[in-house]
Amino acid sequence: MSDQILRRLAAPIRRDWSRVDLSSWLTPLALLTGALGLATVFGAFIYAPADAIQGDVQRIFYIHAPMAMIAYLAGGVVALAGLVYLKTRNMLWDVIARCSAEVAVLFTTLVLVTGSLWGRPVWGTWWSWDARLTTTLILWFIYVGYLMLRSYIGEPERAARYSVLVGLLGAIDIPLVHVSVEWWRTLHPQGIIDSATGSPALPGSMLLVFALGTLTMILLYVVLMGLRMRLELMRDAVIAVEEQRMDEIDIAPLAPPSPASELRALDVAGG
């Protein structure tokens, strides 16, 4: 079923899907993302040199750090789309916020998992109540709570309004996660930009692979959002078809009884 047909079926739903056309770019973008992902893996394990202190375990950085950045991006989209929904009452923005929250949970989970995989050989433990780790865990709980709140409130518009507050709470936590390594004493390494000089803290080869990994994760976020919104569009199309059938059943006139059926009824009653 094409996106054009889906939008036509979903017309009764109060969402503006007129500018959403996923079929023309989603598949090519997914293929490009896969190719860049393979290039990132090659760069992380073959092209980039091993870290002088951490060794090969540092190579997880090229996936871990970009995923953290996309978790920030997804959380920012949740807050921004929620605010736009409050202003316009256009449910499309609420769909964007909800889909981005799901992607934010995914990326934040992967950040915590890959961080633990890195921390075990470097710190000697899977988890430490480090400032960066703790604020990231809080961010994960915020977005899980966001999705739970939406699932508990049955009315879509009321769920959209209430969830905006949770999305803003996540947006407040994102800067705390980012600056936690500078505000508090922490075991977590500093960022890729030296705060004292403002210059990159990585050599050119490592910085190139990191940039490639970041681009890959950005495109992956866009692909996941496109797939999730297309699924939402298909769900709306199904709901629209079901409502249309129910309306047809409600307004269908009852057929008058035929003379033959009346005669049979009289015969049965007389017999």
- Encode pLDDT of 25-78 as tens digits: 888 899 999 999 999 999 988 888 877 777 778 888 889 989 999 999 999 999
Considering the domain boundaries, does residue 74 fall inside one? yes
Inform me whether the pLDDT recorded for 255 exceeds 90. Answer: no
Question: Residue 64: inside a domain, yes or no?
Answer: yes
247 inside domain: no
Total structural domains in the chain?
A: 1
CATH number for the domain that contains residue 84: 1.20.120
Domain residues for 53?
30-193+201-239
Average pLDDT, the chain: 79
Measured torsion, CA atoms of residues 204, 206, 208, 212, in degrees rounded to the nearest 10: -170
Residue 17 forms part of a structural domain: no
Residue-wise over 147-170: b if at least 16 C-beta within 10 A, else e? beebeeeeeeeebbbebbebbbbb
- Give 108 or 134, the one with higher predicted confidence: 108
Q: Does residue 48 form part of some domain?
A: yes
Amino acid at site 59: R
Q: Is the pLDDT of residue 23 over 90?
A: no
- The token pair that represents 224 in the structure block: 């996941």
Give a yes or no: residue 41 inside a domain. Answer: yes
| 111/166 Cα distance (integer angstroms) | 21
Confidence of residue 179 (pLDDT cuts 50, 70, 90): confident
Give the per-residue pLDDT at 137: 93
Query: Considering the domain boundaries, does residue 142 fall inside one?
Result: yes
Does 261 reside within a domain?
Answer: no
pLDDT tens digits along 136-174:
999 999 999 999 998 888 788 888 888 999 999 999 999
At residue 80's C-alpha, the angle toward residues 79 and 86, to 5°, is: 90
End-to-end CA distance of the chain: 57
- Whole-prediction pTM value? 0.77
Helices (H), 124-155: 131-152
The fraction of the chain above a pLDDT of 90, given in percent, is: 36
Question: Which of 3-7, 34-38, 199-203, 238-242 is predicted least confidently?
Answer: 3-7
How much of the chain, in percent, has pLDDT values that exceed 70? 73
Three-state DSSP at 254 gives: coil
